[in-house]
Structures are given as structure tokens and as C-alpha cells.
Amino acid sequence: MAANWWLALIIMVVLNGILVWNFLVGLEPISRRAKKWFFIVVNVIGLVLAVSQFFWMDF
């Protein structure tokens, strides 16, 4: 069960790391509103992946 939690944490850290890297390195300016929605969408996707791996790894 601990492996599930570690994998969920890794999924969230990797997705948020990619998001932050994209914001820091991206050359084109992005509005604050677009950043907020991009952050929300990436975290929802990460949450769905993290939760789904709990069911996937149990079988």
C-alpha cells in the first residue's frame, strides 16, 4: 500500500514539476488567468491518474 502512496506522490510531483518548468522557461507571456486554469487542469489530470493507479495496482 505504501508503494501506491509513493507512486501517487511521484505522479503529482512530476506533473507539477513539468508545469513549473514550462512557466519558468516559456518565452511567451501567459496571462495570470491562463496560468490558473492550466494549473487547475494539470492538477485534476494528476489527481485522476493518482487515484486510478490505486485501483489499477490492486488487481
Residue 34 three-state SS: helix
Quote the pLDDT of residue 2: 75
Q: Determine contact, residues 19/40, Cβ cutoff 8 Å.
A: no
Q: Determine contact, residues 23/30, Cβ cutoff 8 Å.
A: yes
pTM, two decimals, is: 0.76
What digits encode the pLDDT tens for the residues 8-31?
889 899 999 999 998 888 888 888
Quote the pLDDT of residue 59: 52
Rounded Cα distance, 1 and 9, in Å = 13
How confident is the model over 43-58, as a mean pLDDT? 85
Statement: residue 56 has pLDDT above 80: no
